[in-house]
Structure 1
Amino acid sequence: MGEYTIAISNILNEHQVSNSGANVGLYIAYMLIGVAYCYLGLKWSAYLNKFMIYWVAAGTIIVVIAMPVMSPTHPSAEWVFTEFQNSTGYKNSGLAFFLGLLQAGWTLIGYENGAQIAEGTKNADTTGPRGIIIAVVFAIAQGIVLCVATLFSIQDVEELQNSSFPLSTLFIRATNPQLAVFILVVLTVAQFGSLCNSLLANAQLIWSMSRDECLPFHKFWYKLSGKHQVPLRILLLEAVICILVILPLLGSEVYWSAIMSTAVICVNVAYGLPYLCRLIWKRNEIHKGPFNLGRYSIIVNGIAVAWIAFFGVILCIPAVSPVDPVTMNWASLMIGAILIFSLVFWFVSGRKNYKGPMQTIGDTK
């Protein structure tokens, strides 16, 4: 909230400055609050998810109605649906289009969280995949509606491109400062819900890897804490890693774009690796659960692997031209470092200890 207050003030005074320190501080605060909430257990996570359904729905309705209605001017429908502006510096407009896919790639991730925490729900073999499909369909529908409403509310494209706080600028120019603050609060709460789900889902994943003995000190990470039996040690580990990863932002604003591209690539590769393994080694041997794609399974798997490979390459291309140390896309360097770390980790610890998936048996206190 402090970040948004600074943003509103800067925009109204037409004097925008970088606030990396404030952003990092708020990031750390939200991270710690998210860990504290996850410690309350899966029941409170369910409460939050139910609340978020209505909160996000109400917020979406407010945004898609208030912005177009209150906007001082509106671009034409022709501009909204057919205008194409290439501001990247590349002469090839097709390349500019593909570079714009980063934002779409960032928003259409995270739906696997439902599958990761489905282990603690009833009928996980059907609720998990059903949750993924519902998340994808609603994300696409919500995204289209928000995009159309936003495009019809834009006042000055160049101002948004040059703004240090484009989202705040958009809301202020389309509505007024008071409503802009309210909308940003809606987004903040929605982001907090997403944070809690991501923390819990990743904790469940790391806990399962510890159960299968493919992590160093797996017995330490396998312990559950509190009356709600929450992997608190893993949640704290996540918080420490995330805080360490964000700290370089204090010294370089380019670092954030590299982190964003790297995160999208790595998450999509994590999605695609099981599909690739199935296509190569288990094409006709995999056990089919009660929810499956039937004869379309292999086709969908192949399309997914091809798209992820193509998308990963696109996201490593610098977003603007000419390329210099500031505009360079450092995602490929960071991915190389992650790949080296993962391979070393696997050969030093993972392969030696991993004996296959195990059932949860006995007390984990």
Structure 2
Amino acid sequence: MAEHPEKRTGHAKKTALDTGLASEDDAAALAKLGYAQELRRNFTMIEVFGIAFSIMGLLPSIASTLAYSIPSGPAGMVWSWFLASMFIMTVGLAMADLGSAMPTSGGLYWWTHYFASPKTRNALSFLVGYSNTLGLVGGLVSIDYGFSLMLLSVVVIANDGNWSPSNGVVYAVFLGCILCHGVLASTMSKIMGKLQTTFVVMNFVLILATIVALPVGRASQRNDAHFIFAELNNLTAWPQGWSFMLAWLSPIWTIGAFDSCVHMSEEAANAVIAVPYGIVFSIGSCWLFGWICVIVIAACMDTNLDNILGSSFGQPMAQIYYDAVGKRGALALMTLLFIVQFMMGLSITVAASRQSWAFSRDGALPFSSFFRKINIQLGHIPFRAIWGCVGLGAVLGLLSLIAPAAAQALFSLAVAGNNVAWGTPILCRLVWGQQKFKPGPFYTGRFSVPLGWTAITFLCFGIVLSMFPVGGPNPTAADMNYTVVINSAVWGGALLYYALDARKWFTGPKITLTIDDLSESQKRTIAEEGLDVGDVNTMPQETNRGPITAETNAKFVA
């Protein structure tokens, strides 16, 4: 398989425009950030939205997280979705401001490095890059683990609850799923953008089927408005108020893939518009349609919540479907559910590989020179990064063999790890870099700063929330929340690695441009930013830098 060479010579390199990888404007926008165009921009704005919405996988994600929301009762489930989604939108708007201004696949750690203080930028960028990379892989593992449970629940329903899968069987299904995602992400790059539209349609088919089938099936047993909107329960050992807050974990995990729009920046046409609107539209869609779904579920579920949580089918949603539409209907809807969940896993495989590739391009991951190479024959994709994510995911999935509590920690790894990755660049911008921030076409204006602080406060709260045992204080080993252990290992390990070794060589994002990467109009555009393009070939490859501006040019010229 033909790969890009690690070092490209100027005379052999065609421009992105010549090779059809990107438009003039998109290549110029990326060049301002110091990067040559290496991936093909074949995602439209709708398709960028589609990959985020597909990863969120609204109904499968709600189904996977009902164990967090049902213990607070129907009103807790309904109102936690609405309120948490509102705060998640503040995070999305703050990220959309940055994504429009500086769209690059490694955006989160890139923005951190650009905005942070000189003393902290390398360490914080390193931490954010690792937290985001492992958070995305954790998300892939938790999605595919959820897929295996859903698929196996169909088998359990077919056997009338008289069979239950072992941890080994669950892992075997998980492993087959994640390997399939690696194969599909590697071989279907030319139609991956178009597939996202199909995935969005499938998501809405499932939503429509559910919000029609449940009320029809429970026509004589539907719950009233007071039950749906005002009845709180507490099936945990925590106080009532904290039980309600723990229900927020369902929307926090579900609407947690909007940063995938950022990771697709270098494959998005008109990225300065596609990325921010993809973020905002995906969050807004999940806020609205997710709220409709949880209201319908609350209206149609058994009023004895213990019957749902203790279902012999192993999935609360399977029990809700079974109660409403019987065995055959439940089999049909659960089959559609795990098919959509499979699509979620494929989309997050793509997004995780782009973040991993970007971080390797900047030399931060182990074996970066191996993983950063692009495969041309398969459609200008990071083939090795895809399989790196799949391999790491397969190893992390072994936690499912230990105990369900250990496997569930991967769910919170995605929450806590990504919250750190999302919040740090926003914080750095507000504390150190506000004067350096140059808005893109999408900008929230005078609301940008208060939205940013609201987002940071909410993300910090989300990290704390994800650390709590769901059942109550004084947990046993079986129901302990091991998120604090896993995330401490991720964050502590990254910072220790930086302190002992990486600080000697990691100096932030690298410049990958040569003069032959640029057309004449792109050279003029960059010159307007203050850079003498004649210096591009001689810039140190390991140099710290943000956007190529008069400030960075002065540093290089000096």
Tell me the TM-score normalized by structure 2: 0.62
Structure 1 residue aligned with 2:158: 9
Structure 1 residue aligned with 2:203: 56
- C-alpha change, 1:262 and 1:208, in structure 2 (3 Å) is closer
Structure 1 residue aligned with 2:266: 119
Equivalent of 1:245, from 380, 396, 405? 396
Whether the 8 Å contact between 1:214 and 1:354 is mirrored in structure 2 is no
Letter in 1 for 2:156: A
Structure 1 residue aligned with 2:354: 204
Equivalent of 1:356, from 509, 513, 519? 509
Relative contact order (alpha carbons < 8 A, sep ≥ 6): 1 or 2 greater?
2
Distance 1:123 1:247 in 2: 40
How far has the Cα of 1:159 moved from its partner? 0.9
Structure 2 residue aligned with 1:236: 387
Structure 2 residue aligned with 1:89: 237
How far has the Cα of 1:246 moved from its partner? 1.2
Distance 1:58 1:360 in 2: 45
How far has the Cα of 1:197 moved from its partner? 1.6
Q: Does 1:342 align with 2:489?
A: no
How far has the Cα of 1:355 moved from its partner? 4.3
What's the RMSD between the two structures over aligned residues? 2.0
- C-alpha change, 1:228 and 1:20, in structure 2 (3 Å) is same
How far has the Cα of 1:4 moved from its partner? 3.1
Structure 2 residue aligned with 1:288: 439
Indicate the SS of the match to 1:315: helix
Distance 2:422 2:442 in 1: 18
- C-alpha change, 1:87 and 1:360, in structure 2 (3 Å) is farther
Structure 2 residue aligned with 1:75: 223
Q: Which moved more, 1:151-160 or 1:121-130?
A: 151-160
Structure 2 residue aligned with 1:223: 373
How far has the Cα of 1:356 moved from its partner? 2.6
1:142-161 per-residue CA deviation (whole Å, 9 max, x = no partner) reads 11111011111112422111
Q: Does 1:181 align with 2:331?
A: yes
Q: Does 1:315 align with 2:466?
A: yes
Distance 2:174 2:480 in 1: 25
Q: Which moved more, 1:123-132 or 1:330-339?
A: 330-339
Q: Which moved more, 1:78-87 or 1:113-122?
A: 113-122
Whether the 8 Å contact between 2:154 and 2:334 is mirrored in structure 1 is no
Structure 2 unmatched runs, 5+: 1-149, 518-558
Whether the 8 Å contact between 1:199 and 1:238 is mirrored in structure 2 is yes
Whether the 8 Å contact between 1:213 and 1:354 is mirrored in structure 2 is no
Aligned pairs, number:
360
Q: Which moved more, 1:20-29 or 1:239-248?
A: 20-29
1:16-51 per-residue CA deviation (whole Å, 9 max, x = no partner) reads 635322221121111111111111254321121010
- C-alpha change, 1:359 and 1:127, in structure 2 (3 Å) is farther
Structure 1 unmatched runs, 5+: none
Structure 2 residue aligned with 1:214: 364
Structure 1 residue aligned with 2:476: 324
Distance 2:236 2:398 in 1: 28
Whether the 8 Å contact between 1:41 and 1:230 is mirrored in structure 2 is no
Whether the 8 Å contact between 2:154 and 2:335 is mirrored in structure 1 is no
Whether the 8 Å contact between 1:115 and 1:131 is mirrored in structure 2 is no
1:235-275 per-residue CA deviation (whole Å, 9 max, x = no partner) reads 11111111111112112111122221222111122111111
Structure 1 residue aligned with 2:305: 157
Distance 2:422 2:288 in 1: 22
Distance 2:333 2:504 in 1: 48
Provide the identity percentage.
22
Whether the 8 Å contact between 1:215 and 1:349 is mirrored in structure 2 is no
How far has the Cα of 1:350 moved from its partner? 6.4
- C-alpha change, 1:3 and 1:125, in structure 2 (3 Å) is same
Equivalent of 2:257, from 104, 110, 118? 110
User: Which structure has the larger Rg?
Assistant: 2
How far has the Cα of 1:204 moved from its partner? 1.1
Tell me the TM-score normalized by structure 1: 0.92
Structure 1 residue aligned with 2:414: 263
How far has the Cα of 1:127 moved from its partner? 0.5
